[in-house]
Amino acid sequence: MSQKNDDHHHSTALRRVPTPGKATLLAIGKAFPSQLIPQECLVEGYIRDTKCDDPAIKEKLERLCKTTTVKRRFTVLSREILDKYPELATEGSPTIRQRLEIANPAVVDMAADASLACINEWGRPAADITHLVYVSSSEIRLPGGDLHLATRLGLRSDVGRVMLYFLGCYGGVTGLRVAKDIAENNPGSRVLLATSETTILGFRPPSKSRPYDLVGAALFGDGAAAVVVGADPVEGKEEGFMELSYAVQEFLPGTHGVIDGRLSEEGINFRLGRDLPEKIEGNIEEFCRKLMRIGGLGDGVGFNELFWAVHPGGPAILNRLEGKLGLEEGKLDCSRKALMDYGNVSSNTIFYVMEYMREELMKKSEEEWGLGLAFGPGITFEGVLLRSL
């Protein structure tokens, strides 16, 4: 099920002149599985599906469902899948084979739908795509989803493919950094960047020994996204809406255990340190300043003069970032809206934020510069200095 925004070409917003040779977002698309779960139905469904009879777990999940601020999510997992694979909801079952049987085709289906919506908005034929960057932490196989996606979309057989696996929540912004490098170093190239994620690999029944599973159940969703990236938009044929001015990645030394994911016979097990929001808060200001300096924005430019596209890992991270940087109310609205509408969809979520941001910038075009940020295992910070066209 793909969704497309058709009205952006009819905007009355002022157009800025593109910077020659600078990678630019030319189109965006998204897609979701057909199963939509309103947050108020989640607890009953999860407790029923996992046959959990512990009232304390139910109460905790109800509380978490409210604090995450998520209103609805899309999931690949359905009643039919659980009827076919009841072992997925059975503690201690070796189910990695079954999980991959479901996840491998599902992520490519969603990636294909998102890519088609994106290519449709772009308005040029799929054969004009010269490079493909594919991002997922939800499938494992050889050849990978990049080849399956290229085949499904009818891309050229000499399309240059890059596969980014198991980066977690910052993968979408890494994809932008890689696509930017390709676009700027190969004149005339057009890069399709696709991200696709499902929570199937991590789904399991609740256990008191794994309290983080409940946070995941209350926060994460499934979906896919796609963008076309290229430099020097062809006049009359393409309309860039956001330039990728500069990109920076950085890891925080000594924090690699704060977000911990392990693959086992039962799927993926995630553990998040309670100090994650604090670690991000303690390092974010210097990271943003570094990105702004590299991009030529001096220390005189205030954070409130920028627009913000931040991966909504969860409400605590957004609240801390907002407080630390002294952001005015409303600066993170696009991040909060994406979290509310889709949950944390790992690498995809930044693109849902950017699509909302595009709509915002159409209405009020005075903000020229912005920051795109994501955080994930490492702890890794990934950032892009953005310029709105």
pLDDT at 177 exceeding the cut of 90:
yes
CA distance 220 to 204: 13
Q: What percent of the chain has pLDDT over 70?
A: 96
Closest C-alpha to 152, from 45, 211, 226: 226
* pLDDT score, position 242: 97
Distance (Å, whole) CA 216 – CA 252: 24
- Find, among 331, 327, 248, the residue nearest to 295 by Cα: 248
Give me the pLDDT at residue 9, please.
44
**Confidence band of 6 (pLDDT split at 50, 70, 90):** very low
Least confident among 183-197, 208-222, 271-285:
208-222
Residue 245, pLDDT > 70, answer yes
pLDDT at 329 over 90: yes
Residue 7: pLDDT above 70? no
pLDDT (mean) for 55-77: 93
- Whether 169 is catalytic is yes
Question: What pLDDT sits at residue 21?
Answer: 97
Contact 335, 273 (CB under 8 A): no
Q: Helices 212-219 and 55-67: crossing angle, nearest 10°?
A: 50
> What mean pLDDT comes out for the span 309-321?
95
Quick one: pLDDT band at residue 3, thresholds 50, 70, 90?
low
Q: What is the pLDDT of residues 105-129, one digit of tens each?
A: 999 999 999 999 999 999 999 999 9
Do 134 and 164 contact (CB within 8 A), yes or no?
yes
pLDDT at residue number 166: 95
Residue 105 makes CB contacts below 8 A (sequence gap 6+) with none
- Which of 65, 118, 169, 288 is labelled catalytic? 169
What is the reported pLDDT for 12? 47
Residue 11 has pLDDT above 90, yes or no: no
Q: What is the pTM of this model?
A: 0.94
Pairwise CA distance, residues 110 & 98, whole Å: 19
Please write the tens of the pLDDT for every residue from 126-165.
Answer: 999 999 999 999 999 999 999 999 999 999 999 999 999 9
pLDDT tens for 264-309 read 999 998 888 888 989 999 999 999 999 999 999 988 899 999 999 9
Mean of per-residue pLDDT scores for the chain? 93
Note the pLDDT of residue 1. 62
Dump pLDDT digits (tens) for 342-382: 999 999 999 999 999 999 999 887 899 999 999 999 999 99
- Give the pLDDT mean for 203-232: 90
Give CA–CA dist 68/268, Å, rounded: 22
Predicted confidence (pLDDT) per residue in 20-58, tens digit: 999 999 999 999 999 999 999 999 888 888 888 888 888
**Mean pLDDT throughout 248-259?**
95
Rounded CA gap, 13 and 117, in Å? 23
CA–CA distance, 102 with 100 (Å, rounded to integer): 5
210 contact partners, CB below 8 Å, separation of at least 6:
204, 269
Would you say residue 325 has pLDDT above 50? yes
